[in-house]
Structure 1
Amino acid sequence: MTVQPSPHSTIRIGISGWRYEPWRGVFYPKKLVQRRELEFASRALPSIEINGTFYAMQKPDSFAQWFEQTPDDFVFSVKAPRYITHIRRLEDVHQPLANFFASGVLRLRQKLGPVLWQFPPSFRFDADLMEAFLKDLPHDTEEAQKLARQRDPFMARRESLEIDANRPLRHAIEIRHESFATPAFIKMLRQHRVALVVADTAGKWPYLEDITADFMYLRLHGDAELYASGYTDKALDRWAGRVAAWSKGDQPEDAHLVEKDHAPPKCTHRDIHCYFDNDLKVKAPFDAATLLGKLGLPNHLEQPCLDLTPA
């Protein structure tokens, strides 16, 4: 089944991460050297979620290399550090936020898409803590640069503070505790123009579809088994229909909503970022390509435009 999304929205469907050993010889050709995997993946699919930034502070040169290795129209989303969300748990995080934006993420320039903030299952909704955090988030690259200049002294030898232009900066929040299923949280996200992640987690964590920003952010972790199972053709038809509806400024008739009394902000179209995270059994890139096809969007999974001769 093919459905038509809004021609006015930008739809990016891709994968979460790209460096996985089981993918070699299945998604990646056997003769492809490891250092060129991002080149291959970024020519097969239009977007990738960087997840290495979640586990450790990256270097400016890494962001610059990722920028150079990908096509001009490619977009990354960036998973924010777990130090902020899981370790500090939003307590006194102004300096860690400054350090993150000083670490080189701004070197992605026009390829910098949304920043993903994922919270652990044990993190409960705290209105005051969340409000303070949301107020601190920069919404364009000039604001991010201003924040980055407040970084800790230890960043002096591993920082990059320059920007080439002022561009909008989007944020998305993925929650994993049922206490967030409250209208107060939805209202807060709307006030700060931050997207609520639609996270398909095979029923393990809350599934919410409230629209809170001018774009939608989807993370598909597995249809039946978390991080492992692929999506059936029927399941991908369902996701295609939902993406098409959201792209037109609508919402599915059976949307799973927390805030049922107040409609989301009206708009003629919404951009979509969707990432498959069912990577354990090499399902993610193929599911992403299939979903692109169901939306009538191009992918180059069969023949990426890349010379596989070792560079």
Structure 2
Amino acid sequence: MSKGAIRIGVGGWVYQPWRDNFYPAGLAHTRELAYLGAHLTATEINATAYRLQKPATFAKWRDTVPGSFRFALKGSNYCTNRKNLAEAGESVAKFVGQGLVELGERLGPINWQLRDTKRFDPDEIEAFLALLPKSHEGVTLRHAIEPRHESFDDPAFYALAKAAGVAVVVSESEKFADFAAADGPFVYARLQRCRPEEATGYPPPELAAWADRARGWAKNGREVYAFFIAGAKERAPAAAQALIAALAGDAVQPAEC
């Protein structure tokens, strides 16, 4: 079996501190996505969790980055920040129908991040997972779910996600419960412990360990997405570039390389 593609990125592309340590001095703000797309291989868009985007916006993002780049989208909070997730069907349909298919092959997974107070209820979660469509207008949709309450660390939850073809987000966080299960159709990791004192966010031995994990996940054909998201966010691009370098020959390389 061929190895799965490994893509490494950050969250978004508009962040003031990156204009001091990642983007070249004087780079026009309108060129930041293009620059990020030439130096990393994926990004997770947080804005989609808060508001619907226009089809033209997705098309513009698509046309700004190389064909090998992927956009992961945060699922709408209108879907996930509710008492009963089983009642999110209309909101899920609205989210999927907003025009995200304009991203085409550059569309990565959709991450449905749950509130940290949401506890695991087997019937509710099974019903929610059943609401997530496999495709829309001929474009394949891949879904990941990110629980943040320790009650989800339950074999029954992992079994439900696997049966639904939904990946459980591999999380590493100082604030929320960590989940290390990676038994889904692809792997979606959110690394949230960048340190300000580390030039590459994570010390080299930890980056090497994450590189080994990514290789292990990809060896059986699964795609792997890893995002440096929180912690000392100003270090996230350097962390992503360092992990790409550690995976040279095994990961998708930025278009500029």
TM-score, L = length of structure 2: 0.91
Residue 194 of structure 1: aligned partner: 166
User: 1:240, 1:294 within 8 Å by CA — same for their partners in 2?
Assistant: yes
Residue 183 of structure 2: aligned partner: 212
Name structure 1 gaps, 5 residues minimum: 1-5, 146-165, 249-267, 306-311
Partner SS for 2:87: coil
Residue 148 of structure 1: aligned partner: none
For 1:298 and 1:94, how far apart are their aligned partners in 2? 35
User: Residue 240 of structure 1 aligns to which amino acid in structure 2?
Assistant: A
For residue 221 of structure 1, the aligned residue among 184, 192, 195 is 192
Residue 234 of structure 1: aligned partner: 205
TM-score, L = length of structure 1: 0.76
User: Residue 26 of structure 1 aligns to which amino acid in structure 2?
Assistant: N
Residue 5 of structure 2: aligned partner: 10
Larger-Rg structure: 1
CA 1:298/1:9 → structure 2, altered by over 3 Å: closer, same or farther?
closer
Residue 269 of structure 1: aligned partner: 221
CA 1:96/1:20 → structure 2, altered by over 3 Å: closer, same or farther?
same
For 1:19 and 1:66, how far apart are their aligned partners in 2? 13
CA 1:224/1:19 → structure 2, altered by over 3 Å: closer, same or farther?
closer
Instruction: Give % identity.
Output: 38
User: 1:89, 1:123 within 8 Å by CA — same for their partners in 2?
Assistant: no
Q: How many angstroms does 1:8 deviate by?
A: 2.1
Do residues 20 (structure 1) and 15 (structure 2) align?
A: yes
Q: How many angstroms does 1:176 deviate by?
A: 0.6
For residue 217 of structure 2, the aligned residue among 234, 238, 246 is 246
CA 1:33/1:104 → structure 2, altered by over 3 Å: closer, same or farther?
same
User: 1:201, 1:223 within 8 Å by CA — same for their partners in 2?
Assistant: no
For 1:279 and 1:62, how far apart are their aligned partners in 2? 29
Please tell me the root mean square deviation across aligned C-alpha atoms, in Å.
2.1
Do residues 126 (structure 1) and 121 (structure 2) align?
A: yes
Q: How many angstroms does 1:295 deviate by?
A: 1.2
CA 1:300/1:68 → structure 2, altered by over 3 Å: closer, same or farther?
closer
Partner SS for 1:138: coil
